[in-house]
Amino acid sequence: MSESGAEVMARFVGAENVERGREYLEQLDPELHRYILDFVYGEVYAGDVLDAKTRALCTVAMLATLGQQLQLGVYVQAARRQGANEGEIREVLRQVAVYAGFPSAWNALATMKAALERFDEAEEADR
């Protein structure tokens, strides 16, 4: 595998967030940070059998199901970065209502809305 964990992570969450994540995670727990780079991104996300957009949308589905709002916001943005449009993300979150219930779908849509607003502002600022 020629791509490093940090490079795979950057493809999903953006290079600037890898850097911010480094600072945050190093002071939180350097071991967890290493696991995320080496195992999560260096192994699990590094596979190329599944395309990156589908991968990101499946992660959105799982995080919404688990009610993990913080990481959900990050992966809604990752899905956009991989080419998913807002309509596709919405369809995934409506499906959450069927499997994990309406409150989970509702909360996830609120998280998605805020995350996309921040994403669009950052895109705007970059131009």
Residues that bind a copy of itself (CB under 8 A): 28-29, 31-32, 35-36, 39-40, 43-45, 47, 49-50, 53-55, 57-63, 65-68, 70-71, 87-88, 90-107, 109-110, 113
24 CB-contact burial (10 Å; exposed 0-12 / middle 13-18 / buried 19+): exposed
The nearer residue to a copy of itself, 17 or 126, going by C-beta atoms, is 17
Q: How far is the CB of 84 from a copy of itself (least distance, A)?
A: 9
The rounded distance, in Å, linking the Cα atoms of 56 and 79 is 5
Nearest of 82, 81, 111 to residue 96 by alpha carbon: 111
The nearer residue to a copy of itself, 99 or 123, going by C-beta atoms, is 99
DSSP, collapsed to helix, strand or coil, labels residue 107 as: helix
Mutual orientation of helices 86-100 and 69-81 as an angle, nearest 10°? Answer: 140
The nearer residue to a copy of itself, 87 or 127, going by C-beta atoms, is 87
Q: How far is the CB of 10 from a copy of itself (least distance, A)?
A: 17
